[in-house]
Structure 1
């Protein structure tokens, strides 16, 4: 289900309009990537709040990669899932992300070991 400015989840009702609109945009994108609804909403609201706080900064407009835990490994994958790299530790992955960010513009959604949104870098 795609949400709109007039039809959005109850969890977004108390957000300021610019934050809510961004959260709707992010949530719709995550749902297209087959995220579970509750998880998509949680991530979207958190990211929208961060976006609002940092809106004066120049940023990449959308998530290009995700860093997720799979068992004992950490996987850095493109948002479309076409490419991925595997790392033994999260620290190793974060070092590689910093190197990659020097070479190209990317925005990485970092998840914790339980799969919950942690931060965007």
Structure 2
């Protein structure tokens, strides 16, 4: 199943395109594993994507 996370567009719009793409990738993985609501998945994914970006930058 493909999740669109449309309800979280405002949260995603504040991210750079690279971080947004990574956050969606992580959120999809979390949803596939199960045990997360869309809200939990996207919030956790945004944090993880920002960490990923900071780690890759420096």
Give the TM-score of the pair, scaled to structure 2.
0.78
Unaligned runs of 5+ in 2: none
Q: Which has the larger radius of gyration?
A: 1
Higher helix share: 2
- 2:14 is equivalent to residue 9 of structure 1: no
Q: Which has the higher contact order (CA 8 A, sep 6+)?
A: 2
Q: Structure 1 segments of 4 or more deviating over 2 A?
A: none
Higher strand share: 1
Q: Residue by residue, what CA displacement relative to the aligned partner does 1:19-64 show, whole Å, maximum 9, x if unpaired?
A: 000000000000111211111011000000000000157xxxxxxx
The size of the alignment, in residue pairs, is 54
Q: CA RMSD in A?
A: 2.0
Unaligned runs of 5+ in 1: 58-121
Give the TM-score of the pair, scaled to structure 1.
0.40
